[in-house]
Structure 1
Amino acid sequence: MSVDSSAAVRLAERYTLRERIAVGGMGEVHLATDDRLGRVVAVKVLAPAVAHYPESVERFRREATTAAALSHPNIAQVYDYGVDGSSHFIVMEHVDGSDLSRLLRQVGRLTPSDAVRIAEQVCSALGAAHRAGVVHRDIKPGNVIVRPDGTVKVTDFGIAQALGQASLTDTGTVMGTAAYVSPEQARGQATTPATDIYSLGILLVQMLTGSVPFEGDTPVAIAMRHLDEPVPLPSSRVHDLPADLDDVVIRATAKVPSERYADADAMAMALARRESGADAA
C-alpha cells in the first residue's frame, strides 16, 4: 500500500498518519497518532518499490527489533513494528527537533562547545548500543537529531549489526555512508564498536569545520580516501579552534581500529576533559 499524503491513512487499525516529515530511499516518515494510547508518534513506512526485495524487508524489520532492544535517553525509542497489507512500518518516538544535517546547512559549522556536547551525547548512545552488542554502522548527521533543549537522539539502526552476526549483504559490500565510512567498512571487513568511533570522529570534524574531510566524484572514490589519507585536523581548516580537539580527532580516526579509543565511553571522557577549553573558544 502506498501512503497518500492527501488523505488520512490508518495502519493496523491503530495509527493515523498525518503529514510526511521525512523521505528517503528506503521510505518515508510520517507524524502520526497512536489512537489506542493517544500519543503523537513517528511512523516510518517502507517504500513499496523497496518492499519487493526480501533483503530490504529484513533490514527494515531488523532496524525495529534492534532499536527496540535499546533503552537510552540518547536513542530514539522504537515502540512497534507491523505489516498492514503490503505496508511494512515502524512506530517510533517522535523527536521534536532538527537533524544535524539540516542544522549544519543552516549555520555552516557549530561552536566548539556545541560540537563537543553533541558528540558526547552520541558517545553515550553508542556506548549503550555497544554494551548491548550492537554496532550502528551509519553514524552521520542525518541520523542525529538535536532537540531545542540540546538533547541528542541517535536514530536509524537500519544497518546496525549485532556483534558476531553475519551480514545480510554480500561479502565486500560497503555498508554506511561514504563520507563517514571507516577504513574497515571500505575494505568490506568486519565492523566493531571502533567503526562507530571512526564515523563519529569524522562527524566531529564536520561539526567543527562545516565540511567533511574527504570529497570525491563517486562514493567509492570518497571511501578509498578514508583508506590512505590522514584526516585533516580541524585547526588546519578553522584557525581559532582549540588545538586539543585535534587530539580527539586523531585518536578517533586512526586507520587501525585498535589504535582508536577503546570504547565510546573513553571518547566521551576525552571530550569532557576538553569541554572547558571548547567553552573558552
Structure 2
Amino acid sequence: MGLALMKALRSRLAGTPHTDPASDFRAMRVPPCLRLETILDSPAVPLQERSRHGWNPSDCSASFTVTADGLTAKRSPVAWSTDSIRGKEGFAAGLHVWEITWPAAQRGSHAVVGVSTVDGALQAPGFSALVGSDGESWGWELGRNELHHGGAKVGTYPLAGPAGSRPPLAVPDAVLVVLDADAGTLGFAVDRHYLGTAFSGLGRGKFHPSVSAVWGDCEIGIRYLNGMQRQPQPLMDLCRRVVRLSVGPERETATRSLPLPPAIKRFLLYR
C-alpha cells in the first residue's frame, strides 16, 4: 500500500493550499512556517466556539454595536470621530489566525486592522489610524498599506521591494491576521498569501484582535480560524499535512481517489 500511495502522490502537483494565483499579492508572498501552514490547511473552529472569539460589546467605542452572535460589529455614522473595537479573547501565547471581513466600499480614509492590549485607545476626535496611535496597539492601515505603532507611521506593508516605493495595493474584503504571541510578531495574509512579519517586538502581554474605523454604518466581521501552541506537532498531523500538500488544491476529489482505507481518507479530510 505504501508504494501505491507514493506513486499516487507523485502523480499530483504539489502546491500551497487555498491561495489565489491571480492575486496582486502573490509576488510578495513569504513562505509560512510549518505551524502557520498547518493552521491555514485546517478546518476553522466549530461554529459554536466562534462567538467566544467574537467582538466584545463591552470593550469598544460607544459608536460600535455588536450583533447577538458577536461576529459582526457596526459603527454608527458619528461625524469627525475615529472609533475602535476589540475582540473578546486576548492571546498571551501561541500562534493564532483570524479573519477580518471588511467590505472595501465601507472603509473610508482610515481603516485599520491589527491588535491591541486592553489599554489601547478606543476613541479619538478627527480621523486617524487609531489602532497604532499609542504604544498599546499595532495596526495596518488598509487604504495606504501603512503600518502604525506608537502614534507614528513605522513603514509600509507588504514591503515595497527594491525600488523602495509602489502605489498602495487594493486590499480585498477579507484579511487574515497572524499573531505569534510567543515570538511577539504580527503579520497578515491576503488571498491566503502570507505577506510576512509586519511588526516584531510586541513584547509580553495579552493581545486582542482590534480594528478602528471612521466610516459610518460600516460592518466588520471577525472569524477566528484556529490556533496552535509552541510545541512539537504529533507525527500523525505532520503526515496528514504532507499528504494534503502533495495531492494539490482539489483536496476532496484527490483524496478520495487515493489507494487508502476509508478511515485514513476521513482522517486526511478532517472528518
- TM-score with structure 1 setting the length: 0.24
Greater fraction helix:
1
Larger radius of gyration: 2
Higher relative contact order (CA 8 A, sep 6+): 2
More strand, by proportion: 2
Instruction: Give TM-score, length-normalised by structure 2.
Output: 0.24
